[in-house]
Amino acid sequence: EITKEQQALMKIILDAYNRHQIPQDVAKKLLQDQYSAEENFLLLTEMATSQVQVLVEFTKNIPGFLSLDHEDQIALLKGSAVEAMFLRSAQVFSRKMPKGHTEVLEARIRKSGISEEFMTPMFNFYKSIGELHMVQEEQALLTAITILTPDRPHVKDQHAVERLQESMLDVLRKLCALQHPQEPQYFARLLGRLTELRTLNHYHTEMLTSWRMNDHKFTPLLCEIWDVQ
Ligand SMILES: CC(C)c1onc(-c2c(Cl)cccc2Cl)c1COc1ccc(-c2ccc3c(C(=O)O)csc3c2)cc1
């Protein structure tokens, strides 16, 4: 019982999700053959910077987002960037990239100065996303829902964000019922991943701190979105 306007919303979100992806020439750099921790960190920094740009373009296509208070738009992007990038990189792992990106991305993440204690929760998350076998529509909606989380730091008009998120959640709930009729708890499992994502934020903050203590440099865009340097 997905309504006509919900179908329209779904199409807009899916088109935006597919239209905005890391350019292939950037992604292909993962396949080059230098594998030092420094080289891996630089490549991952380039991936993250490109992914943030993609994320901003995707977010601008979420119906209603550009009508939110401008400072709240920034607060939502800053607050959700890491989670959206975990979701996106998780799709790379679960979609078994033909060009072998999966293996090289994992190898570079594992050897980029991230301490062991963060590897386990990070790769457990990647595994738990892979096990869901999400379709594109679910991935796109889940990313939009993550961005439209009302209780990010410094969001002033949380109700305005809540209204947008709720309409996305309603479409996702109906889509899950259609896509996974034999699995009534599938929608709840998807939302459970959003909770797991928020725990990864804390690990990520510590990852940033330890990189900075080892004098690793980030790009201006990442410094701005992560309030570092
Ligand atoms: C600054 C840097 C060292 C960093 O700090 N924390 C994290 C970080 C890490 Cl290490 C894990 C999870 C989240 C973050 Cl922010 C990172 C690296 O972030 C990445 C962001 C995004 C990709 C990413 C996305 C899409 C795709 C696609 C595709 O779509 O076709 C093909 S290849 C690829 C690669 C990889 C890495």
For the stretch 148-206, pLDDT in tens is: 999 999 999 999 999 999 999 999 999 999 999 999 999 999 999 999 999 999 999 99
Distance CA 164, CA 176 (A): 19
* d(C-alpha 160, C-alpha 11), whole Å: 22
Q: Is the CB of 47 under 6 A from ligand 1?
A: yes
- The verdict on the CB of residue 55 being under 6 Å from ligand 1 is no
Distance CA 214, CA 82 (A): 21
For residue 29, pLDDT over 70 is answered with: yes
pLDDT at residue 96 in the model: 62
Angle between helical axes of 116-130 and 186-213 (0-180°, round to 10): 150
pLDDT at 103 over 90: no
Asked if residue 90 has its Cβ within 6 Å of ligand 1, the reply is: no
Residue 98 has pLDDT above 70, yes or no: no
- Tell me the pTM: 0.95
Structure tokens at 88: 């996106």
Given this model, what pLDDT does residue 184 score?
A: 93
> Region 55-64: what's the mean pLDDT?
98
Mean pLDDT value across residues 141-147: 98
pLDDT at position 97:
59
Query: How does DSSP assign 125-160, residue by residue?
Result: HHHHHHTT---HHHHHHHHHHHHT-TTSTT-S-HHH
Contact between 209 and 228 (Cβ < 8 Å): no
In sequence order, the 6+-apart residues with CB closer than 8 A to the CB of 172 are 138, 141, 142, 145, 187, 190
d(CA 131, CA 126): 9
| Mean pLDDT score across all residues of the chain | 94
Query: Is-contact 147 69, C-beta < 8 A?
Result: no
Residue nearest to atom 21 of ligand 1 (CA): 48
Best residue for ligand 1 mutational test, from 55, 85, 94, 229 (most atoms within 8 Å of Cβ): 85
User: What number is the average pLDDT over the span 3-31?
Assistant: 94
Does the beta carbon of 81 sit less than 6 angstroms from any atom of ligand 1? no
The percent of residues in the chain predicted with pLDDT above 70, rounded, is 98
Residue 90 is predicted with a pLDDT of: 93
